[in-house]
């Protein structure tokens, strides 16, 4: 009876498993923002002279096309300093022309731990696309890790199936301006909400570990003769007015300290008056106009350094 | 861990497989460990609370059995007080603190403790154990692990059925051999329960949540439909959970008590309470209603006993006046129904309704359903103000409708524009009709299943058709279910 049951059960669930695996396989072929970026990176590796690392503030706020040198923006949404370091370590050997490294560090970067946030699932994408090991062993217990359906989630998977597995994605350059972007949709209320959402992903205990990642990146870059620039991208006043000043100053002093010790340049545009409302797409992200402005400023700093 | 989660999809087959693999002596140990893992998937530290209850009641059971005279009662009282105290601290403290604070104009003392999942269920299950031991109807369990499993048994751990020790404990000692028909029957029940919860209840919730979000801005039609949908949402949600719990236990050879028996087929409120959440209603009957005198007392005392029983039942569901009123209203229904039984029988005979028993029965069902739905307004509303606002809007809408009908015009809420803005077309007309069809299908299927113990579809030569139905159910569960924001079962909050 047991054997009969097991046999029938296997026959019953086989089509379900087959269907599941078929969908999973099709999902694995879908381009993601990371896989598109990896493809572009691999294509441009031999030519890259300037590499940008960081999170969405750098991804949107620094436009590689405006640098004097051939630049590549390897920043990504919610990318933590752990992944910045791992990506640098993985590809630095394959960038023979690399001369400059721009590390973007936001207000929350030094206290940010991707594992502790609702976006922990991004770790699995880094693992699958870039083969970067997980930052936290507890992620091994998450079922999302083991299938693309889990990674995309049920609702997203259904939508993809209904769209016949077609997916549109933006690439390494900042998102294009919206046609009627005259009046930015942000305010004190949205800024306060944004800061609160960042507080939820900031963990003071993570500070030293993240600082170590920064130090490691600087050491690695210097070992390859690469000049490092640490940048804090600008935010709008609706965001900056609600920050915790103590935490902000702790971040700034730590970066100033490290830049002095390691002889690297730290440029802080956080409250820079050059950036006004038309430069922002929301409370803490630049739009294309702002990205062009910031990129020119960073480029000027880079070019001003004697070769 | 929720039943409608990927974790349970992995957990259940592994535990069941190991259960049948292990020799009998190890099986209860496996179930105990598995149940602990199941519970710790919620808030791990809270397992200590259940273990505290387990230790107290396990010890109390033995002490009660060994003691004589007043000591017996003393141990029982200690056990009841400690169990109820835990429930009070986690569930009722803030409510009573706020009410006392308002009464005496004092600032309330607020506790930030989160209610452990299923606390109300396993405290009642623990209480029934010590009470049964006290009355000599159950021998005190001497094996700590077995008693712990009685409280922890994962299929019914977080939302019942609230079992009696006489029904469950002895089953842990029985050898359960693999039985093909029983296992398939259990899996089928689990599938059906999942379908009711994920496909029907969770989709009905879309309408209900919209109707009850800002009821002041909804039409009376939306509120009436929203409330009726809630009646089915809560039934399918809870009975679906019970089906999964009973099915999961059945697979391993355990028989849990039936918790629902098509409650909306009831022709009276009394019958409804024999069919709805049977494990809880029988608990209140046996441990509150009967000890307080039951129907052996005089009329006024009986009314008091009924009201106390139902108010406590309401309070069990939640620390909010809405639940108290819901319970009291049901008690009131029972009292009125009892004292109007004879006049109603006379009236129905006089108007000739008894000559049409089916129509009469259907009318009684409709009246019972309407009365129950009225009480569900309190159950679903977050507070009394919202509940009263809903009734006010419904009353206003009905009055407007009657006024329009008397003037031979279309009631304002039945115009094309009003209907378009109501919850009828919230997700489109087709979806609304689909939900009605689903409710009819589920009710019809359960009626048919009950009437025929073994339906024609279970015949061996119809295996292909059966499997097609299973695949259809599974596909609809996967496709319609929202697996990202997995909706909790309603009764988990109790």
Which residue does chain B place closest to A144, by CA atoms?
B6
Mean pLDDT confidence for B184-203: 94
**Residue A149, pLDDT score:** 86
Q: What gap in Å lies between CA A193 and CA A108, rounded to an integer?
A: 15
Interface contacts A/B by beta carbons within 8 Å:
32
Select which of B277, B317, B338, B396 is catalytic.
B317
Q: Does A15 touch chain B (CB under 8 A)?
A: yes
Strand, helix or coil at A104? strand
Contact B180 A5 (CB under 8 A): yes
Q: Does A19 touch chain B (CB under 8 A)?
A: no
* H or E, element range at A227: strand A227-232
| Helix ranges, chain A (H) | 2-28, 33-44, 56-61, 81-91, 122-125, 148-152, 154-162, 188-199, 207-223, 237-240, 245-262, 288-304
Q: What gap in Å lies between CA B447 and CA A70, rounded to an integer?
A: 73
Which of B10, B470, B483 is closest, CB to CB, to A154?
Answer: B483
Strand, helix or coil at B327? helix
Distance from CA of B9 to the nearest CA of A (A): 11
Contact B180 A150 (CB under 8 A): no
Q: Annotated catalytic, B105? A: no
Distance from CA of B464 to the nearest CA of A (A): 11
List the one residue out of B101, B19, B494, B35 whose CA is nearest residue B245: B35
Largest CA distance in chain B: 77
Highest mean pLDDT among B53-57, B107-111, B429-433: B53-57
Contact A5 B479 (CB under 8 A): no
Residue-wise pLDDT tens digits, B74-93: 999 999 999 999 999 988 98
Q: With 90 as the cut, is the pLDDT of residue A228 above it?
A: yes
Which residue does chain B place closest to A3, by CA atoms?
B180
Mean pLDDT confidence for B260-275: 94
Q: What gap in Å lies between CA B134 and CA B131, rounded to an integer?
A: 5
* Tokens found for residue A50: 């300037």
**List of chain B residues whose C-beta atoms are within 8 Å of the C-beta of residue A154:** 478, 481-484
Mean pLDDT confidence for B282-297: 93
List the one residue out of B210, B267, B266 whose CA is nearest residue B233: B210
* Tokens found for residue A60: 């949107």
Tell me if A105 sits within 8 A of A230, measured CB to CB: yes
Mean pLDDT confidence for B194-214: 92
Contact B179 A1 (CB under 8 A): yes
Q: With 80 as the cut, is the pLDDT of residue A222 above it?
A: yes
**Total H helices, total E strands in chain A:** 12, 7
Q: With 70 as the cut, is the pLDDT of residue A178 above it?
A: no
List A228's β-bridge partners, or say none.
A101
Burial of B23 (0-12, 13-18, 19+ CB in 10 A): exposed
A residues 150..189 contacting B (CB < 8 A) = 150, 153-156, 158
* H or E, element range at B79: helix B70-87
Which residue does chain A place closest to B468, by CA atoms?
A12
Q: What gap in Å lies between CA A10 and CA A20, rounded to an integer?
A: 15
Distance from CA of A9 to the nearest CA of B (A): 10
Q: With 50 as the cut, is the pLDDT of residue B147 above it?
A: yes
**Residue A172, pLDDT score:** 43
* Tokens found for residue A119: 């976006």
In which band, very low, low, confident or very high, does the pLDDT at B453 lie, cut at 50, 70 and 90?
low
A1 Cβ neighbours under 8 A, 6+ residues apart: B178, B179, B180
Contact B180 A154 (CB under 8 A): no
Beta-carbon count within 10 A of A65 CB: 12
Lowest mean pLDDT among A125-134, A176-185, B44-53: A176-185
DSSP state of B113: P
Q: With 80 as the cut, is the pLDDT of residue A177 above it?
A: no
Q: Does A141 touch chain B (CB under 8 A)?
A: no
Contact A155 B484 (CB under 8 A): yes
Indicate the average pLDDT of chain A.
89
Contact A153 B474 (CB under 8 A): no
Highest mean pLDDT among A109-118, A160-169, B374-383: B374-383
What is the dihedral sign for C-alpha B105, B110, B115, B121? negative
Q: With 80 as the cut, is the pLDDT of residue A174 above it?
A: no
Which residue does chain B place closest to A161, by CA atoms?
B479
Distance from CA of B67 to the nearest CA of A (A): 47
Q: With 60 as the cut, is the pLDDT of residue B487 above it?
A: no
A52 Cβ neighbours under 8 A, 6+ residues apart: A58, A62, A64, A71, A72, A73, A74, A75, A102, A104
Tell me if A28 sits within 8 A of A70, measured CB to CB: no
**Residue B154, pLDDT score:** 94
Q: Are strands A71-73 and A50-53 parallel, antiparallel or unpaired?
A: parallel
Rounded percentage of chain B residues whose pLDDT exceeds 90: 62
**Residue A171, pLDDT score:** 44
**List of chain B residues whose C-beta atoms are within 8 Å of the C-beta of residue A16:** 471, 474
Residue-wise pLDDT tens digits, B168-190: 999 999 999 999 999 999 999 99
Beta-carbon count within 10 A of B306 CB: 22
List the one residue out of B282, B65, B267 whose CA is nearest residue B163: B282
Contact B484 A15 (CB under 8 A): no
Contact A5 B474 (CB under 8 A): no
> Which is higher by pLDDT, A86 or A307?
A86
**Residue B115, pLDDT score:** 79
Distance from CA of A176 to the nearest CA of B (A): 30
Q: With 50 as the cut, is the pLDDT of residue B99 above it?
A: yes
Indicate the average pLDDT of chain B.
90
Which residue does chain B place closest to A20, by CA atoms?
B478
CA angle B311/B267/B270 to nearest 5° reads 30
Q: What gap in Å lies between CA A30 and CA A128, rounded to an integer?
A: 13
**List of chain A residues whose C-beta atoms are within 8 Å of the C-beta of residue B478:** 154
Contact A4 B471 (CB under 8 A): no
Which residue does chain B place closest to A142, by CA atoms?
B7
Selected for mutation to probe chain B from A3, A4, A5 (highest B CB count within 10 Å) is A5
Q: With 90 as the cut, is the pLDDT of residue B59 above it?
A: yes
Contact B470 A1 (CB under 8 A): no
**Residue A183, pLDDT score:** 54
Q: With 90 as the cut, is the pLDDT of residue A179 above it?
A: no
> Which is higher by pLDDT, B324 or B1?
B324
List the one residue out of B267, B132, B270, B246 whose CA is nearest residue B192: B246
């Amino acid at each position: 009876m047991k054997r009969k049951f097991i046999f029938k059960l296997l026959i019953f669930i086989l089509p379900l498993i087959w269907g599941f695996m078929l969908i999973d396989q099709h999902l694995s072929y879908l381009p993601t923002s990371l896989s598109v970026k990896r493809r572009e990176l691999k294509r441009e590796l031999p030519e890259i002279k300037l590499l940008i690392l960081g999170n969405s503030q750098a991804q949107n706020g620094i436009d590689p096309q405006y640098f004097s040198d051939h630049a590549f923006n390897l920043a990504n949404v919610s990318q933590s300093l752990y992944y910045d370091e791992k990506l640098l370590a993985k590809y630095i050997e394959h960038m023979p022309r690399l001369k400059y490294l721009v590390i973007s560090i936001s207000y929350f970067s030094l206290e940010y731990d991707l594992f502790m946030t609702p976006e922990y699932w991004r770790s699995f994408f880094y693992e699958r696309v870039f083969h970067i090991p997980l930052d936290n062993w507890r992620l091994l217990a998450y079922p999302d890790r083991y299938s693309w359906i889990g990674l995309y989630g049920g609702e997203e998977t259904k939508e993809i199936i209904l769209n016949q597995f077609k997916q549109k994605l933006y690439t390494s350059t900042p998102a294009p301006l919206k046609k009627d972007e005259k009046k930015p949709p942000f305010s004190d209320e949205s800024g306060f909400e944004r800061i609160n959402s960042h507080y939820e992903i900031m963990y003071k205990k993570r500070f030293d570990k993240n600082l170590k990642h920064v130090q490691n990146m600087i050491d690695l870059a210097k070992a390859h003769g690469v000049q490092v620039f640490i940048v804090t991208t600008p935010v709008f006043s609706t965001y900056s007015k609600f920050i915790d000043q103590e935490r902000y100053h702790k971040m700034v002093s730590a970066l100033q300290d490290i830049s002095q010790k390691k002889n690297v340049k730290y440029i802080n545009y956080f409250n820079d008056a050059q950036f006004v409302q038309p430069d922002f797409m929301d409370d803490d992200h630049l739009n294309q106009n702002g990205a062009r402005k910031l990129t020119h400023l960073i480029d000027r700093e880079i070019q001003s350094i004697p070769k | 861990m929720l039943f409608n989660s990927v974790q349970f999809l992995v957990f259940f087959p592994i535990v069941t497989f190991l259960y049948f693999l292990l020799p009998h002596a190890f099986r209860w140990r496996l179930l105990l460990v598995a149940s602990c893992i199941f519970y710790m998937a919620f808030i791990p530290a809270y397992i200590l609370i259940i273990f505290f209850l387990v230790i107290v009641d396990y010890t109390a059971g033995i002490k009660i059995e060994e003691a004589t005279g007043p000591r017996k009662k003393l141990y029982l009282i200690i056990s009841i007080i400690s169990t109820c105290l835990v429930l009070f601290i986690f569930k009722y403290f803030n409510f009573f603190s706020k009410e006392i604070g308002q009464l005496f104009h004092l600032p309330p003392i607020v506790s930030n403790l989160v209610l452990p999942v299923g606390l109300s269920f396993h405290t009642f299950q623990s209480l029934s154990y010590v009470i049964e031991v006290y009355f000599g109807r159950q021998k005190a369990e001497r094996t700590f692990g077995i008693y712990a499993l009685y409280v922890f048994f994962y299929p019914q751990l977080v939302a019942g059925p609230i079992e009696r020790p006489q029904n469950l404990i002895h089953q842990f000692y029985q050898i359960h051999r693999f039985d093909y028909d029983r296992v398939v029957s259990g899996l089928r029940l689990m599938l059906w329960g999942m379908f009711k919860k994920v496909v029907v209840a969770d989709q009905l919730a879309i309408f209900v949540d919209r109707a009850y979000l800002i009821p002041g801005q909804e039409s009376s039609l939306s509120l009436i439909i929203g409330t009726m949908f809630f009646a089915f949402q809560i039934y399918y949600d809870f009975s679906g959970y019970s089906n999964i719990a009973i099915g999961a236990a059945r697979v391993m050879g355990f028989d849990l008590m039936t918790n629902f028996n098509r409650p909306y087929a009831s022709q009276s409120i009394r019958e409804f309470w024999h069919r709805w959440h049977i494990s809880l209603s029988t608990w209140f009957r046996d441990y509150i209603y009967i000890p307080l005198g039951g129907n052996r007392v005089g009329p006024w005392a009986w009314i008091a006993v009924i009201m106390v029983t139902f108010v406590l039942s309401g309070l069990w569901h939640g620390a909010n006046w809405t639940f108290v009123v819901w319970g009291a209203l049901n008690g009131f229904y029972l009292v009125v129904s009892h004292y109007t039984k004879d006049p109603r029988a006379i009236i129905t005979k006089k108007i000739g309704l008894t000559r049409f028993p089916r129509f009469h029965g259907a009318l009684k069902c409709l009246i019972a359903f309407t009365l129950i739905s009225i009480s569900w307004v309190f159950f679903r509303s977050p507070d009394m103000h919202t509940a009263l606002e809903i009734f006010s809007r419904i009353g206003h809408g009905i009055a407007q409708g009657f006024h329009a009908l008397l003037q031979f015009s279309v009631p304002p809420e039945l115009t094309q524009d009003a209907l378009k803005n109501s919850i009828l077309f919230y997700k489109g007309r087709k979806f609304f009709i689909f939900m009605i069809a689903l409710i009819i299908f589920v009710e019809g299927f359960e009626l048919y299943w009950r009437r025929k113990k073994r339906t024609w579809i279970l015949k061996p030569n119809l295996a292909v058709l059966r499997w097609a139905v299973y695949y259809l159910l599974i596909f609809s569960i996967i496709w319609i279910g929202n697996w990202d924001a997995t909706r909790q079962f309603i009764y988990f909050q109790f």
